[in-house]
Chain A
Amino acid sequence: GAGVSQSPRYKVAKRGQDVALRCDPISGHVSLFWYQQALGQGPEFLTYFQNEAQLDKSGLPSDRFFAERPEGSVSTLKIQRTQQEDSAVYLCASSSSREQFFGPGTRLTVL
């Protein structure tokens, strides 16, 4: 597609459930990023992939968060045993240079 796509757009989970969020980057973009955006805040970096290699996961809040990009294209962000503080918009971005292009995000609500 022409832009970054993410699915689902909205996800409601009960506390303790596992969730998986998908990102389809712009075709040919080597770099892929995940950000977390809390209500009323700017996005905050979670993790970075170059092709299939996860080069930086320093922003992941806890070991309940896991991201993968096994074939260097589609990426999945998984959150295990969700907590209420995980409620946020999760944004994916891809890049072929210094400019990062964002998807529409997945709004996760944990009840």
Chain B
Amino acid sequence: GQQLNQSPQSMFIQEGEDVSMNCTSSSIFNTWLWYKQDPGEGPVLLIALYKAGELTSNGRLTAQFGITRKDSFLNISASIPSDVGIYFCAGLRNSGGSNYKLTFGKGTLLTVNP
């Protein structure tokens, strides 16, 4: 099935560093969501974006909904060891009546070295 283009595939950083990851698509999405998944668990919602150009923060996390509606990025500032995990972007379209069907990226594996 179709998935979003998410990059980088993996990152290895030092504690305290800032992190940036992004997602792109050839199609327009009307909602962008960012999830974090720990091993053996389901994805946990971090941030939801509903309007093109929107910039939203949640603690050390900041995400933006691209103005073309075809991309989004997630920044994590001052990383800590518990930020380790897989981060997924996901999008919702309004086309074809399927405005409930999430399309996911392949994920970014983040490793933080204490």
- The chain A residues found within 8 Å of chain B, CB to CB, are 4, 6, 31, 33, 35, 40-45, 48, 56, 59, 91, 93, 95, 98-105, 107
Contacts and interface: CB of A to CB of B under 8 A. Distances in A.
B105 A42 contact: yes
B70 interface: no
Interface of B: 1, 3-4, 6, 31, 33, 35, 40-45, 48, 50, 88, 90, 92, 98, 100-107
B50 A41 contact: no
A98 B106 contact: no
Contacts, number: 66
Contact of B104 (A43, A104, A105): A43
B106 A40 contact: yes
A105 B33 CA distance: 19
Contacts of A4: 42
A46 B45 CA distance: 19
A98 B1 contact: no
15 contacts: A4-B42, A41-B106, A41-B107, A42-B4, A42-B88, A43-B102, A45-B101, A59-B1, A59-B101, A98-B48, A99-B33, A100-B33, A100-B102, A101-B45, A102-B43
Given A42-B3, A42-B90, A59-B1, A104 B42 contact: yes
Leading 5 A-B pairs by shortest Cβ distance: A42-B104, A102-B42, A44-B1, A102-B43, A104-B42
Contacts of B88: 42-43
Nearest to B106: A42
B43 A91 contact: yes
Nearest to B109: A40
Given A59-B1, A102-B44, A104-B42, A48 B33 contact: no
